[in-house]
Chains A and B, each alone.
Chain A
Amino acid sequence: MSDKATLTIRAVRKRFGPVEVLKGINLEAGAGEFVALVGPSGCGKSTLLAMIAGLETIAEGEIRIDGRLVNAVPPKDRDIAMVFQSYALYPTMTARRNITFGMESRGVPKAEQDAAVKRVAGLLQIEPLLGRKPGQLSGGQRQRVAMGRALVRDPKLFLFDEPLSNLDAKLRVDMRTEIKKLHQRVGKTTVYVTHDQIEAMTLASRIAVMHQGAIQQFDEPAVVYARPANMFVAGFMGSPSMNFMPATLVDVEGRPAARVALDGGGSVDLPLGFTPARRPAKVILGVRPEHLFRFDAELKARKPWLASLTAPVELVEPTGAETMAILKLGERDIVGRFDPDGAPRLGEVLPLGIDMSHACLFDCADETLIPRVAA
């Protein structure tokens, strides 16, 4: 781990009574990076954030900010700023006062305070809101004031604790874009906790997927999406989630293929687009919905690793931009995302094409990804 990283977390564990909430966390964030901590409720991400902030004690492991060990340092001296899910704006103070409260507590001279507020308010475009109290602001405006309060500290590390969870869907998308733009402008190292994997995918430079107190995978979004380290990550990232089909590995014409059981005892062999590094007896084949197509020869010419089979269509859900369809393969349902033109029709037996070059193979025994042998 490089010591030039802004944030270094090493071997951190945390217990609450008999329950071990964090089981050996190792993480780092370089200067200017945007790290997302994503996972379902109870995975420990908020606890980890609280420990970075200094709101929870660190009994095992160490946390360093800019190389400096901060285990014993109180929150106000860690040079961090935090934006809360509930914004946590002081309800009896104006927006301006909310922003300057921390500076007042530290005895910053008035002139400096005013300059800082001006700078931050301009950046977030909240100048006209400064005289109002939080009760008079909308959700998005409150969010921006909360970010202003964090920005004005000019900290080394920005911490976000599910800041968009309290907003309605449309506003959430707008604010997400604003946070991204802000990060591009200001460039501060950020740790962002969320349970929404779309937020993590769009905002982060690296994603740490957490589950039951441990980091399952820590990598760039594209890698986490395309090559998930295990079935949990594969199922958690992406919506609708990846289709999982039990299969066995066989050889077809000298090339590896996944044999998937069908209704009535038959099976279909899907040639893989790659060579798996291991060949366990039982595997799980993972295919994302967007890699399912209506099979035709022209498509096959463009996608050489398009496997061909048929599947009956059980349900069709048009969303306008695309059409989701649930197909039956063997005993299970699989979900596909199709172009509205030529989309599957209800009751049809669809000629299905699966782009196997993007498929993932998981070892049945421990649910981890089976790596590919480089071609």
Chain B
Amino acid sequence: MADAAFTAEFAQAQRVEARRYALGRLGVYAFLGFFAILYLLPLLVVVANSFREMPEITQNGLIAFPRSFSFKAWPNAWAHYCVQGTCEGVHRNFYNSLIMTVPATLVSTMLGAINGYVLSKWRFRGSEALFVCMTLGVFMPGQVALMPWAFILGRLHLSNSVYGLMFVHCVQGLSFTTLFCRNYYLSIPDDLIKAARIDGAGFWRIFFKIVLPLSPPILIVTVIWQFTGIWNEYLFGVVFTGGTQQPITASLVSLATTVMNARAYDVTAAAVLIGALPPLLIYLFGGKYFVRGLTQGAIK
């Protein structure tokens, strides 16, 4: 008899517990859902508005269910829109960004890998101190480098040139890529290098045959982060170049924020998306490498 009462009480307690648990789960999902909407809203708004017609936008506002559909904002933004005196859209700026970002990413990553290899596997007296000095570049504010770079670019006849920007980013990227690669290479066992030295391999043979084949994870992370960082960079872009030489991120500012008479939200939305798309796509496809880079690099 006592058993039955106990079972009933227990079952009741179980039900309460289950309900509390379910409410808890619901709460968690609601919380996450709320923030997800908050995060996605701007993106959805921009995407939607790039496909709407301007009169409809003016009528219904930016945050509204699209009631019109048109592709024409995109070619307009790409090739026809007038910004800063020229009416060529942003395609030139887009190409500038490519010219600036791709080589700088590849060069700084390659150099970073070699530097990381030297600093982690061929330590010599003072190499730790040198590493710290190199890494300081990651934390420096760009403002401190403005005047000197302007001077140097002028001397090299690279002012107001996207190639000048490429050079700047090649150099500035070294700190970051070296930091990342060196920390990663520390995890390669030193015994491997010792065995290779006994086997008769020298500095370069060890790098190409042993270390580099082990590098794809860190190289991908470094390339992704470098590409994103250089593409999205604004300060150097706007200071060292102007007009048609500007990379797209810098040109977006004049495009999207000038208080002109009729704000063409559709075209500017499309232009902004053109500027944001490459890193976003890389993020969508390389997401896990992004995160890996975060957790490895930032906690250092």
Contacts and interface: CB of A to CB of B under 8 A. Distances in A.
Interface of A: 53-55, 74-76, 80-82, 84-86, 88-92, 101-102, 105-106, 149
B200 interface: yes
Contacts of B195: 82, 84, 88-90, 149
25 contacts: A53-B194, A53-B198, A55-B194, A74-B197, A75-B197, A76-B199, A80-B198, A81-B198, A82-B195, A88-B191, A88-B192, A88-B194, A90-B209, A91-B192, A91-B214, A92-B213, A101-B196, A101-B201, A102-B198, A102-B200, A105-B199, A105-B200, A105-B201, A106-B200, A149-B195
A55 B214 CA distance: 23
Contacts of A101: 196, 199, 201, 209
Contacts, number: 55
A75 B192 CA distance: 14
Nearest to A83: B195
A91 B192 CA distance: 9
B198 A76 contact: yes
Contact of A75 (B189, B198, B210, B214): B198
Contacts of A55: 194, 197-198
B72 interface: no
A159 to B, nearest CB: 9
A84 B191 contact: yes
B214 A92 contact: yes
SS class of chain B's interface: helix, strand, loop or mixed? helix
A87 to B, nearest CB: 8
A84 B194 CA distance: 9
B205 to A, nearest CB: 6
Contacts of B199: 76, 101-102, 105, 149
Rank and list the top 7 A-B pairs by shortest CB-CB distance, nearest first. Answer: A102-B199, A76-B200, A88-B191, A92-B213, A105-B200, A88-B195, A84-B191
A295 B210 CA distance: 64
Interface in B175-217: 189, 191-192, 194-201, 205, 209-210, 213-214
Contacts of B201: 101-102, 105
B198 A92 contact: no
A92 B195 CA distance: 14
Nearest to A105: B200
Contact of A90 (B197, B198, B210): B210
Contacts of B191: 84-86, 88
A55 B121 CA distance: 13
